[in-house]
Chain A
Amino acid sequence: MESIVFGIGITALAGALATVAGAAENTESDIGSQGDPNSQVQLAPQMGYLHRIFNKAIAGEPPAWGLWIALGAGIAWAFMAMQVNPILAIVLGAALATFVQGVYATTAYLGRTASLAKFGQPVFVDVLKSMTTVTMAHAFVAIFATVTVCHLMNAALGHPFPLPLLGLVWGIALGAAGSATGNPFYGKERQYQNQKYGAGVPIAASGNIVRYAEAGERNSLDNGWFSARLGGPASGVCFGLIVFLELWRTVLFEHIAAGWGAIIIGIIIILVFMVIDRYIEVWARKNYGPYGKPAEEASS
Chain B
Amino acid sequence: MSAIGAKPAAGSAMDMTATIIGIIILLVIIAATYFLVGPGMAFMALIGVIAGGILIGFGVHFVPVGGAPAAMGQAPGIATGVAMLAAGAGLAGLFGGAWAAELGIVVATVTGAVGGGLMMAITCMFVNFIYVFGMGIPSASGKVARDPITGDTQAEFKSQGTEGHGLPFVSYVGGVIGGLFGGAGGTLIYLMLLEVYTEELPGMMNALPGQILPIAVTLAGIFAIGMFLVNAVLAAYNITGTIEGPHDPKFKRFPRAIVASAIASAVCGMVAIMIVAL
Which of A176, A201, A267 has most chain B Cβ within 10 Å? Answer: A176
What are 29 of the A-B contact pairs (CB < 8 Å)?
A: A60-B81, A161-B98, A166-B95, A173-B88, A175-B84, A175-B88, A177-B119, A177-B122, A177-B123, A180-B123, A181-B130, A184-B71, A188-B137, A189-B135, A199-B73, A199-B137, A200-B74, A201-B72, A202-B159, A203-B161, A231-B130, A231-B134, A263-B111, A269-B118, A278-B172, A280-B125, A281-B128, A284-B137, A284-B138
Chain A residues contacting B98 (CB-CB under 8 Å) are 159-161
Residue from A61, A198, A260, A263 in contact with B135 in the complex, judged by beta carbons closer than 8 Å: A198
**A216 contacts the other chain (CB 8 A):** no
**What bracket does the count of chain A residues touching chain B fall in?**
35 or more
Interface: A293 (CB within 8 A): yes
Kindly list 11 other residue pairs between chains A and B, CB separation below 8 angstroms, not including A162-B218, A234-B134, A238-B123: A176-B85, A177-B122, A184-B70, A184-B72, A184-B127, A197-B135, A259-B108, A274-B173, A277-B128, A278-B150, A294-B155
Q: Which residues of A contact B218 (CB under 8 A)?
A: 161-162, 165
Residues in chain A within 8 A of chain B (CB atoms): 35-37, 39-40, 60-63, 159-162, 165-166, 168-170, 172-173, 175-177, 179-189, 191-192, 197-206, 230-231, 234-235, 237-238, 241-242, 245-246, 249-250, 254, 258-260, 262-263, 266-267, 269-270, 273-274, 276-278, 280-281, 283-285, 288, 290-296, 298
B91 touches A234 (CB 8 A): no
- Report A-chain residues with C-beta under 8 Å of the C-beta of B138: 281, 284-285, 288
- CB-based contact A62/B159 at 8 Å: no
Query: Are A61's CB and B84's CB within 8 A?
Result: yes
Chain B residue numbers with a CB within 8 Å of A36 are: 67-68, 70-71, 79-81
- Looking at chain B's contact residues, the main secondary structure is helix
A245's closest neighbor in chain B, by CB?
B118
Pairs of residues from A and B, 5 with the lowest C-beta to C-beta distance, nearest first: A176-B88, A202-B161, A200-B73, A187-B71, A198-B136
Residues of chain B lying within 8 A (CB to CB) of residue A249: 118
Q: Is the CB of A176 within 8 A of B125?
A: no
A262 to B99 CA separation, bound complex (whole angstroms) = 12
B115 interface residue per 8 A CB criterion: yes
Q: Is the interface of A mostly helix, strand, loop or mixed?
A: helix
Is A185 touching B96 in the complex (CB atoms < 8 A)?
A: no
Cβ of B23 < 8 Å from any Cβ of A? no
Q: Is the CB of A37 within 8 A of B72?
A: yes
Of the stretches B45-53, B162-170, B260-268, the one at the interface is B162-170
**Contact (Cβ within 8 A) A295 B88:** no
Contact residues in B for A185 (Cβ distance below 8 Å)? 130, 134-135
Which of A162, A237, A258 is close to B107, meaning CB atoms less than 8 Å apart? A258
Q: Which of A181, A235, A288, A295 is B153 in contact with, Cβ under 8 Å? A: A295
List chain B positions with a Cβ less than 8 A from chain A: 67-74, 78-81, 84-85, 87-89, 91-92, 94-96, 98-101, 103-104, 107-108, 110-111, 114-115, 117-119, 121-139, 145, 150, 152-153, 155-169, 172-173, 176, 213-214, 217-218, 221-222, 225
Instruction: Say yes or no: A176 contacts B80, CB within 8 Å.
Output: yes
Pair B79/A168 contact, Cβ less than 8 Å: no
B96 proximity list for chain A (CB < 8 A): 246, 250, 262
Measured CB to CB, the nearest residue on chain B to A250 is B99
Measured CB to CB, the nearest residue on chain A to B194 is A160
Asked if B123 and A281 sit within 8 Å, CB to CB, the answer is: no
Alpha-carbon gap, A173 to B123, bound state (A): 10
| Residues in B whose Cβ lies below 8 Å from that of A242 | 92, 118-119, 122-123
- Chain A residues with Cβ below 8 Å from B119 are 173, 176-177, 242, 246
B139: chain A residues at CB < 8 Å are: 281, 284
What are the residues of chain A within 8 A of B155 when measuring CB–CB?
292, 294-295
Q: Which residues from B are CB-within-8-Å of A263? A: 107, 110-111, 114
Assess the A160–B217 pair: CB atoms within 8 A.
yes
Whether A259 contacts B107 by the Cβ 8 Å rule is: yes
Q: Are B111 and A262 touching (Cβ within 8 A)?
A: yes
Query: Do A40 and B72 have beta carbons less than 8 Å apart?
Result: yes
Q: Is B134 a contact of A295 with CB atoms below 8 Å? A: no
